Structure 1
Amino acid sequence: MHAYVINLERSPNRRAHITRELARTGLTHDIVTGVDGQGLDLGDRATIAPELLAKNDFPAGSAGCALSHLQVYRRILEDGHEHALVLEDDVTLPADLGTIVEQVVPHLTGAEVVLLNYGSRDGVVLAREGSVRLSATRTLALPVDIASIVNAGAYVITRDACRRMVAGLLPLRANADEWDYLYEQGLLDRVRLLRPLPVTKNASFESTIGLYSLGSGVASRLVASVLRRRIPLVHRLVLWRRQRILGQWERSEVVDAPFTTRPSRLD
């Protein structure tokens, strides 16, 4: 399994972090320079639809993130992979990640993604129906409510999914992690999640989009300023708060419940 890592040129600390993480896994990888939202023309309607801007508090960062993932899909197609691992640079990886993704690969089909990092405001609920036991500890399952699922920090994607994304994503109308939109638009045939969560967000890194900010954009900037200054006690409190939020979003359970929208055309 080959990994593609999205990293902004202005984030060498993140690049160093994810390079160390990947070294522990032994996975081959490429660092893909991400699209920096700070340099985007948000008025370019051939690339960015007004709908994307209207629904985001951080439109430049959200557009840059989505374009970065699209850039990776193009690379996967160019390099001829049938499936690949896509990573953002602010995640923590398990040493056995290679083994984990190889357990997933035989179950991939069509235009599919399997999320290795995900979250939901009230915790993630997975369906027992249609779930696949990969090992004594790992289960592949469909989300009960795909609209509640966010995060694009780590996922396995098929070549068919990359092909559809490249053909149909522009102009951008959705964030990189709007998995329900991508499914509803027919760009994906299926979205599944791996439980327990194998890849986690690293709380030391502030989201460049603002998903885990502690309030408004102004509050987020104040938090970023505090973190840069490294005021010891305040810095520890902010990191503790961020880790707590991440922990709440990353909780998951498998239940017997009907799907809100079944996120699969392949079953």
Structure 2
Amino acid sequence: MRTFIINLPESISRRERMIKHCKEINIEPEFIEAILGRAFSIEEVKRKSRALTEVRTPGEFGCALSHISIYKKMVDEKISVALILEDDVSLNENARDVLDMIENKISSDEIILLNSAKQYLNRPIHKMNGYTTYPIIEADLTCSYVITLAAAESMLKFLYPVWLAADRWPFFRENNVAKISFINPPLSNLNELSSETTINGRDSEDYISENSIIWKKIRSQRPWFTKIKNILWKLVIKKYYKVIKLS
């Protein structure tokens, strides 16, 4: 399984840390230059974005394009499955063994998050020596996940031009972009560098309020059959499966 790590060229200490970490757990990394959102002019951002978009800060824009660039690379090079990491994450000591099992078990159109989900459906998908994958209900972060070629192709088509944050996992599931699951116990966690985020400008009250309005518009424009399918899916969940909430 190829491993891609998104890293800004100027973040040398993060790169060196990831090189050392990958060596310790026997993973060979390939560094992908993170796309700097603030390097684009307003006109360039407009050309690369949909008219209705929730991605409104340079950091979010760069993050979205960085992940999209890997999906494109997978499609262009026909990479069957890949591990995508951001440079502020740490993997468990046994990650290599678990990743080998994931590569053998993963469905053709699946994305498996290696970080914890917020809510998941208690319906096991893959069982692997003490690790189990489950369908996500609520999850965020793009710090660590395994993705197949078919899923990467679907994500590329769905996300470009840019209009969604890179970690809208529940929305991707709702729209049948890919099967989205997570592994439990988690195989990764954010390290101490994660507090030094390179994505800024999302904490102001104005931003949060405006983004809430935009998100409602985006959800209102879903196809009617997607809305109905999601309602039916929730009804089935409540009737047949337990929803597990994690703190």
Is the structural similarity TM-score above 0.5?
A: yes
Q: Distance in 2 between matches of 1:141 and 1:125?
A: 10
The equivalent residue for 1:172 is 162
The equivalent residue for 2:119 is 125
Q: Distance in 2 between matches of 1:84 and 1:76?
A: 8
The equivalent residue for 1:63 is 61
The structural deviation recorded for 1:21 is 1.1
Equivalent position amino acid for 2:113 in 1: L
| 8 Å contact from structure 1 (residues 48, 173) kept in 2 | yes
Q: Distance in 2 between matches of 1:125 and 1:90?
A: 23
| 8 Å contact from structure 2 (residues 119, 139) kept in 1 | no
The structural deviation recorded for 1:216 is 4.0
The equivalent residue for 1:159 is 149
Q: Distance in 2 between matches of 1:93 and 1:108?
A: 19
| 8 Å contact from structure 1 (residues 37, 64) kept in 2 | yes
Equivalent position amino acid for 1:160 in 2: A
Size of the aligned set, in residue pairs, is 208
What's the Cα RMSD here?
A: 2.5
| 8 Å contact from structure 2 (residues 135, 181) kept in 1 | yes
Equivalent position amino acid for 2:242 in 1: A
Q: Distance in 2 between matches of 1:130 and 1:99?
A: 20
The equivalent residue for 1:257 is 242
**Residues 68, 92 of structure 1: alpha-carbon distance in 2 compared, 3 angstrom cutoff:** same
Equivalent position amino acid for 2:131 in 1: R
- TM-score of the aligned structures, taking structure 1 as reference length: 0.70
The equivalent residue for 1:106 is 104
The structural deviation recorded for 1:182 is 2.3
| 8 Å contact from structure 1 (residues 111, 160) kept in 2 | yes
Q: Distance in 1 between matches of 2:42 and 2:108?
A: 33
Report 1:16-55 matches (<5 A). 16-43=16-43, 44-53=45-54
Report 1:185-224 matches (<5 A). 185-188=175-178, 190-205=179-194, 206-210=196-200, 216=204
Report 1:87-98 matches (<5 A). 87-98=85-96
Q: Distance in 2 between matches of 1:105 and 1:89?
A: 22
Q: Distance in 2 between matches of 1:8 and 1:48?
A: 22
Q: Distance in 2 between matches of 1:46 and 1:180?
A: 26
Q: Distance in 1 between matches of 2:135 and 2:171?
A: 16
The structural deviation recorded for 1:42 is 4.3
The structural deviation recorded for 1:47 is 1.1
Question: Which of the two has greater helix per residue?
Answer: 2
Q: Distance in 1 between matches of 2:52 and 2:197?
A: 22
Q: Distance in 2 between matches of 1:210 and 1:154?
A: 20
Q: Distance in 2 between matches of 1:109 and 1:133?
A: 13
The structural deviation recorded for 1:192 is 0.5
**Residues 126, 38 of structure 1: alpha-carbon distance in 2 compared, 3 angstrom cutoff:** same
Work out whether 1:2 is the aligned partner of 2:2.
yes
- 1:204-229 per-position Cα deviation (integer Å, ceiling 9, x unaligned): 33122259x9x549xxxxxxxxxxxx
